[in-house]
Structure 1
Amino acid sequence: MAPLGDGVAPAAAAAPGLVVSFGEMLIDFVPDVAGVSLAESGGFVKAPGGAPANVACAVSKLGGSSAFVGKFGDDEFGHMLVEILKKNGVNAEGCLFDQHARTALAFVTLKSNGEREFMFYRNPSADMLLTESELNLDLISRARIFHYGSISLITEPCRSAHVAAMRAAKAGGILCSYDPNVRLPLWPSAQAARDGIMSIW
C-alpha cells in the first residue's frame, strides 16, 4: 500500500504511451500510532489506497501518462478520491459514480511483528458493481499498457467487466500488466483466491 500523496504530477507531454489502470480505489484508515493492532489503535488517519490507483498515480508522478478506470460511491469519499487522481495528473474520464453503493473502505495496520492486518468494508462497494456496459473502451483502446489486479475478479458484475476490458486490450495489441495482489480476506476461501487469480494468468 503505497500512499498516493498530494503532489501535482509533472507534465506528461513527452510520455511514450498511456498506461490505463483498472480496478479499485478506496479509503485506507491507518492507525495514528505505529506497531499496534486495529483493536489497540485509538485513532485512524484516512489515506487514499488501492493498488491499481497507486500505479496510475506513480506513472504520472514519474512523468508518464496514465488514466484510471473504476467506480466510486457517489459520496464524499468517492469524490475526494477522484479529485486526488486528478490532482496527481491521472486522466479520470474512466471514473464513474454509483448512487446506490458506497466507496470501499479498509482499515490497515502494520503490527509490531511486521505483518499487515486488513479489515475491509465493501459489501458491496461501488467498485464491485462496475458493469461491462459501463466500460470506457475508447479510453482503454488508447492505452499502450493496460494494468489491473485481482480484486476486481472476486464478484460479479465487476469480474465480467474486468475480463471484457482485458480481452479488448489484448485484441488491440495492448500490453497487459497483472498484479495478483493477494488479499485472502476478500475471497470466499484460499482455494477460490488461487482459482480466481490463476484464471486470467
Structure 2
Amino acid sequence: MINSVKNQILIYGDAFIDYIANDETNLTYTKFLGGATVNVAAGVSRLGASCFFITVTGDDPASEFVRKRLREERVNLDYAVLVPNKRVSGVYIHLGETNERIFHKYIDETPDIQVEYEDLTKAAFREASIFHFGSGTLFQQTALETTQRAVELAVESDVLISFDANIRPLRWKNEELCRETIGSFLSKVDLLKLTEEELSFLTETKTIEDGIRQLERYGIPVVLITVGAKGAYVVIDGIQTHVGVEAVEAVDTTGAGDAFIAGILRQIHLKGKPASCNEWIDYIAFGNKLGALCATKQGALSALPYLEEIDE
C-alpha cells in the first residue's frame, strides 16, 4: 500500500532528442525533446502531479536545451546529475502506413556516462509515492546497477514500482539478453506496462492469453497491455479485463503509450492506489483517453495532453 501523503512521483531514465518523420516517406524530420521517461515525467506534470526526474546531462547546448525544456514542463531536476562530457542521445522515428511508430536508429555518443548508483539519495524515495522506470538504459551496465539500486530503495521506502517494458531491440547486444535483463525486474514491480508486441517478444508467445500465462510466474499485481485503438487489457491479480477507448482519428501515435501510463500514475498519486478492479478500470479508462488525445496530434511530448483538456 502506498502512502498517499507522499509528495512526488519519481522517474528515472534518459533524455533524448527525437527526430520524428514528417510523413510516411520518412525523408524529413522535426526535432523534439523526447525519451519515454521524459514523456511520462512531462505528462504527469501537465496533469497536476509533482514529478522529479533522475537523469544525466552534459554541458553542451543540447543538454541545456533538455534541462530548459524539462523545467518549462515543471519537471523538477533536483535529483538529476550534470556530467560535463555527457551528450544526450538522439533517436530517429519513422512512421508506418497507419501512423504507427517505428524506432529506426539511435545515436549515442557517450553511452558509458550514466547516473551512478551512488548518485541516488534515500530522501528522493522517502518522499515518493511512485517510482517509475523503463528498460531504455538497462543494456548499459552502470545504468543497470543504478536501476537495481533504485528498485531496492523504492522497496525500502514502501513506494509503488511502475515499469514500462518499452523494449527497443536495436539497443541490445541480442534479444535473449534483453529478455533476461527485463525479466530480472518483473518479480519486483507492482505495475507493468507493455504493448501487445512487447508482450509477444518478451514471452515468445503469439497470443495475448499465452503471454499473460507466461507472466503469471512473476506474480505482478497489475499488468497493462496496450492494444492501440482497441484500448488496453489489464490483468489484476490474475483476472483479465479489457478496457476500450473512444475512437479518434490518429495523426501520430508516438508518445500515446507514455500519455497512457502518465495518466494512470497521476491518478494513483493524487487519488491513491485502487482498492478494487473497478477503480483500476476507471484509472485505465482515464489513461486510454489521454493516449487517444495524444495520438490526434503530431509529436510526442508536444502532443501530451494538459489537465484542462480532459473532461474527467
TM-score, structure 1 normalization? 0.83
The structure-2 alpha-carbon separation of the partners of 1:50 and 1:90, relative to structure 1 and needing over 3 Å to count, comes to same
1:115 deviates by 5.2
The structure-2 alpha-carbon separation of the partners of 1:87 and 1:187, relative to structure 1 and needing over 3 Å to count, comes to same
Aligned residue in 1 for 2:104 = 118
Q: Which has the higher helix share?
A: 2
Question: For residues 34-76 of structure 1, what are the alpha-carbon distances to aligned partners after superposition, in whole Å with 9 as ceiling and x for unaligned?
Answer: 1123xxx1x3221011111111111111111111001113211
Aligned residue in 2 for 1:91 = 76
Aligned residue in 2 for 1:34 = 23
The structure-2 alpha-carbon separation of the partners of 1:99 and 1:16, relative to structure 1 and needing over 3 Å to count, comes to closer
Larger Rg: 2
Q: How many residue pairs align between the two structures?
A: 181
Matched, 1:69 2:81: no
**Counterpart residue type for residue 121 of structure 1:** I
Determine if contact 1:73/1:125 at 8 Å carries over to the other structure. no
**Relative contact order, CA 8 A, sep 6+: which one is greater?**
1
SS at match of 1:34: coil
Q: Identity over aligned residues, as a percent?
A: 24
1:176 deviates by 0.6
CA RMSD, 1 decimal = 1.8
Aligned residue in 2 for 1:3 = none
Q: Distance in 1 between matches of 2:50 and 2:86?
A: 30
Q: Distance in 2 between matches of 1:164 and 1:144?
A: 17
| TM alignment of 1:46-195, pairs within 5 A | 46-112=31-97, 114=100, 116-125=102-111, 129-195=114-180
Q: Which runs of 5+ in 1 are unaligned?
A: 1-14
Q: Which runs of 5+ in 2 are unaligned?
A: 187-312
